[in-house]
Structure 1
Amino acid sequence: MSPAAPVIDLHAHSTASDGTDTPAELVSAARQAGIDVLAITDHDTVAGWAEAAQAARSEGISLVRGIEVSTTYRDASIHVLGYLTDPDDAALMGELAKARDSRATRLERMVDLMAADGIPITYPEVLAQVAPGATPGRPHIADALIANGTIRHRDEAFRDWLTNESPYYVSHYSPDPVRACELVRRAGGVPVLAHPFTRTRGATVTEALIEQMYAAGLAGLEAFHRDHGPSEVERALALARRLGLVVTGSSDYHGTGKVNRLAEHTTDPEVLAVIESQASGVTPVVRP
């Protein structure tokens, strides 16, 4: 009998950005979920890497160190997963720092707008929800509203107040997705477009844009994801075949911040091998 294929989940978040598990808790949860290889991919930061790597060795699972780069295209938010980048690459780290700083000032403006309209929220309450060194984001506003008893779950805040169409929405700086692919590649990493055809975003991500990203170094598409139905999966698979891109599957786990469950979608070992073979950063997969 051949051994079972490893369970690989290449998209998960910790308290270093907008997840609710610390990096160590995330790794422990992954092991309990039967995962053999986990990627930590916090938004615009590598702050959780060291803790997650130490936990991975202790828990006996492999860790792929990654990031999720926030990008903007035609006023829509698009996310590029970058695997195995050099955390000391000045160009990429500088761009991520600029994005994080913009997120922080943007949240304060959003909170001011919400409070002026009678929503019980203050900026210090939001800051209390952001872990030291974490990337601040809209989920932390939701967490503050949960903490003060206004709502019970993040979904309520995003449904009523935190969408891009909300009167309280404030944009923040982020690179365009083509630039993000270039930055990840120059940092020795491997870029994969996260949930490209998510049904909650509309038709923002076009095949023409993905072709431009491919020319800039895009390696793959996250086809198997909770936000993709059968038609979106097939569209991603067809495009990947045409361009010669790898296809990943991931949970996009955020702890209790989203309904997504670890390993609800997974990636084939052959795909991870391709990603590793293309990486030239200084952060290889941490093996148990």
Structure 2
Amino acid sequence: MRIDLHCHSDASDGTRPPAEVVRRARERGLDVVALTDHDTVAGWDDAASALPDGMTLVPGIELSCAHDGRSLHLLGYLFDPAHPALAAELARIRDDRVVRAQGMVDRLRDLGVDVTWGMVRARARGEAVGRPHIAGAMVEAGVIRRAEDAFTSEWIAQGGRAYVERYALDPERAVALVRAAGGVCVLAHPRARRRGYVFEDEVIERLAAAGLAGVEADHPDHVPEDRAHLRDLAAALGLAVTGSSDDHGVLTGDRLGAETTAPDAFERLAAAASGGDLRVPDRNREAR
């Protein structure tokens, strides 16, 4: 069984619709895929309605958190999205994403960049507007050649000239919210050094004490030494170890299935969750 527990659709900052994501996951030989768009569950139903035979969808999310002024991402799985406290926080995060993106557009325009809010908004299918949408608009405007060129100190990297801070959850509170909604949390790419997502063992230990269920050790941005260390740390803390592609479609080279999670780790996470169900193909679709 091949399992990928971290990917994105155009409900946030991926490039492909949710239905296409699950179809491509099956084509890549995956049996289980988690849709984990940033701060939104908007793609769940579209993905579930298009599930090909033999595919299971894990409803998930990638939550925006912050620790000591640095972005930290948590993957939440199988929770109730209607849980009042969690739903309120998700709405606040999404609202702030729009305000933040508008602020970055304003700063870019002050820097002489001919990017408009309309150009950015046209690239975002839902409310989860993110920096990749701004980067795409900058490419469209001819300011940069590739979207990744926007993520520098010159433009919209953290601390860059056009960067705007955003509202983000305290990670320990985020874990508590997802658990209260019946879900489980996994720490996403904690050693993605190229992108600055590097968190010390002490942070992972604190999150484990708060109820973290797992750690994403096998990720395209993790070097072998970090993967091995994270596995050892997870074993010491009693955490599940996951592997995921963190696919964003074209932006990341359509790498669904590039990293996978062991079936026993997936089963452990699923058994610990009570807020939502795994989605499987609806065999009555054609009859309706």
Question: TM-score category by the smaller chain?
Answer: over 0.9
**1:200 and 2:194 are equivalent in the alignment:** yes
Match of 1:145 among 138, 142, 147: 138
For residues 13 and 219 of structure 1, do their structure 2 counterparts lie closer, same or farther at Cα, with a shift above 3 Å needed?
same
> Would the aligned equivalents of 1:39 and 1:65 in 2 still touch at CA under 8 Å?
yes
**1:184 and 2:174 are equivalent in the alignment:** no
Deviations 1:42-67 (A, max 9, x none): 000100000011111x4541100000
> Would the aligned equivalents of 2:138 and 2:144 in 1 still touch at CA under 8 Å?
yes
Instruction: Please name the residue that 2:247 is paired with.
Output: 253
For residues 227 and 204 of structure 1, do their structure 2 counterparts lie closer, same or farther at Cα, with a shift above 3 Å needed?
closer
Which residue identity does 2:148 align to in structure 1?
D
**Structure 1: tracts of 5 or more residues without a match:** 1-5
SS of 2:278 mapped into structure 1: coil
Distance 2:85 2:112 in 1: 41
Match of 1:264 among 242, 258, 261: 258
Instruction: Please name the residue that 1:236 is paired with.
Output: 230
Which residue identity does 1:90 align to in structure 2?
P
> Would the aligned equivalents of 1:222 and 1:247 in 2 still touch at CA under 8 Å?
yes
Of 183-192 and 205-214, deviating more is: 205-214
Of 17-26 and 58-67, deviating more is: 58-67
SS of 1:208 mapped into structure 2: helix
Which residue identity does 2:123 align to in structure 1?
Q
Cα distance, 1:151 vs structure 2: 3.3
Deviations 1:47-95 (A, max 9, x none): 0000011111x45411000000010111111100001010111111111
SS of 1:77 mapped into structure 2: strand
Deviations 1:78-115 (A, max 9, x none): 10000101011111111111111111101111111111
Distance 1:37 1:203 in 2: 26
For residues 25 and 169 of structure 1, do their structure 2 counterparts lie closer, same or farther at Cα, with a shift above 3 Å needed?
same
Cα distance, 1:200 vs structure 2: 2.5
Of 107-116 and 151-160, deviating more is: 151-160
SS of 1:38 mapped into structure 2: strand
> Would the aligned equivalents of 1:198 and 1:227 in 2 still touch at CA under 8 Å?
yes
Cα distance, 1:261 vs structure 2: 0.6
Give the aligned CA root-mean-square deviation in angstroms. Answer: 1.4
Q: TM-score, normalised by structure 1?
A: 0.93
Deviations 1:124-172 (A, max 9, x none): 11111111x3411101101212333433432122245221031111101
> Would the aligned equivalents of 1:66 and 1:81 in 2 still touch at CA under 8 Å?
yes
Q: Following superposition of structure 1 onto structure 2, how do residues 17-166 of structure 1 map, counting pairs within 5 Å?
A: 17-56=12-51, 58-131=52-125, 133-159=126-152, 160-166=154-160
Which residue identity does 1:16 align to in structure 2?
A
Distance 2:151 2:194 in 1: 12
Instruction: Please name the residue that 2:267 is paired with.
Output: 273
Distance 2:278 2:117 in 1: 38
> Would the aligned equivalents of 2:97 and 2:129 in 1 still touch at CA under 8 Å?
yes
Cα distance, 1:258 vs structure 2: 2.1
Q: TM-score, normalised by structure 2?
A: 0.93
Distance 1:205 1:241 in 2: 17
Cα distance, 1:201 vs structure 2: 4.6
**Structure 2: tracts of 5 or more residues without a match:** 282-288
SS of 2:242 mapped into structure 1: strand
Of 199-208 and 134-143, deviating more is: 199-208
